[in-house]
Amino acid sequence: MRDMKVAVLGFGAMGRARNVAYPNVAKYYGDSPINPVITQGFVLEREADAARKLGWDVNLDMMDTIQNDKSEYVDICLPNALHYSAALAAIEAKKHVFCEKPLAISVDEAREMTEAAEAVPGLLNSVNFIYRRCPANVFARQIVQENWFGKLLEARSYYNQSWGGPNTGFGWRFDVKAGGGTLGDLGSHAIDMLYFVTGMRPSEVVATQVTHVKERMGNVTKSDGSVVREPIPNEVDDGTRVVYNLPNGGIGSLECTRNAWGTENTQGYEFYFENGAIRWSYDEVNYLEVYDPSVRGRGWRRVLCNQGGFAYCHFAGGHMDGYRDFLTSACYENMRAIEGMDPIAPIATFRDAYEVERTIEAIRRSHRERRWVKLDEIK
């Protein structure tokens, strides 16, 4: 197992989560071909002391962090609008790239990033659609791949949170230019999960989006350098609803919002096939529910997927997994991919994430133009 130098860009929720994930790769997975070691981090000045306390070699210059020789792998944990310039610079510097989702803030940027990454053979281009690392979702994918239940007829996906009320202040997730909005933030996961589990992407969509809170209080820097707190227009979608057709003749729906009071962070899906169904909820993250009408005594079976024989069971079976474990498994899959090993479950490549962006663009266009939009329209 060789060490590999990792630069993490960003010291927010996701950047800090890397402090848990990378050091645990070799601890969870003794067969990891690489031991990733965080050797440098790009942070904002106000975060520097906290980052140093965690042992980071802090750099306040993003481009220098990407380009200097203190890393061979760059992990982008920045607001969405910064993914584009960071990823292109990392690719140019011939570094492996792990990028947070959504890949970009537009389909054009996502396409350019994908083409740039694919033009350099041997470089990792991986996107953190982390729920691919949840054993229950890998089992769901296996059920579809093994064709337990036939054709997918109807799909329902949701990803809802509750922190978007009027008293929540302005931040980059409410800033159109930074790539804010629920669809990219939450809906992107649901779009990727539909594909990961069922292998299907919508062929056409019709959608509506809403901005419930038109202004939010935030810090504004004035021309004299002073900072005042005042209302800032909120132009992102606070909620999105989508109905779609599938290429196999099936249909589906997707919802995402930050205004689901009491729903801290819940996502899930229900996939109904010709001869059975599966459903999953983040609230019961280690279980997949399976409905097989051919089993005597009908009913949903609740299958514990955190046990021997299921994906990513790195510890004693039944000792439950959570978000930190999924992130560690995502980093482990990246190490396997760099060494050319087959994935336990496929990583989300830039191309996969570009396909998500195509769906997002179709949804936005449908809302803007008040019509069905075919995915073929989006390049």
Ligand X SMILES: NC(=O)c1ccc[n+]([C@@H]2O[C@H](COP(=O)([O-])OP(=O)(O)OC[C@H]3O[C@@H](n4cnc5c(N)ncnc54)[C@H](O)[C@@H]3O)[C@@H](O)[C@H]2O)c1
Residues binding ligand X (CB under 6 A): 10-15, 43-44, 47, 77-80, 82, 100-101, 128, 130, 172, 185
DSSP-based three-state secondary structure for 174: helix
Burial track 81-115 (b if 16+ CB lie within 10 A, e otherwise): bbbbbbbbbbbebebbbbbbbbbbbbbebbbbbbe
CA neighbours within 13 Å on the CB side: how many for 341?
13
Listed in sequence order, the residues at least 6 apart from 265 whose beta carbon sits closer than 8 Å to its beta carbon are: 161, 282
Shortest separation between residue 332's beta carbon and ligand X, angstroms? 16
Tokens encoding 249: 């003749």
Return d(Cα 83, Cα 205) in angstroms, integer. Answer: 26
Shortest separation between residue 164's beta carbon and ligand X, angstroms? 15
Residue closer to ligand X, measured from CB, 13 or 119: 13
Residue closer to ligand X, measured from CB, 109 or 185: 185
DSSP codes, 195-231? HHHH----SEEEEEEE----EEEEEEE-TTS-EEEEE
Shortest separation between residue 88's beta carbon and ligand X, angstroms? 16
Residue closer to ligand X, measured from CB, 66 or 82: 82
Residue closer to ligand X, measured from CB, 14 or 205: 14
Shortest separation between residue 113's beta carbon and ligand X, angstroms? 13
Shortest separation between residue 71's beta carbon and ligand X, angstroms? 16
Question: Which residue is nearest to ligand X, using beta carbons?
Answer: 12
Residue closer to ligand X, measured from CB, 47 or 255: 47
User: How many angstroms separate the first and last alpha carbons of the chain?
Assistant: 41
Shortest separation between residue 329's beta carbon and ligand X, angstroms? 13
Residues 290-297: contacts with CB under 8 Å, at least 24 apart: 290/143, 292/148, 292/149
Shortest separation between residue 193's beta carbon and ligand X, angstroms? 12
Burial of 33 (0-12, 13-18, 19+ CB in 10 A): middle
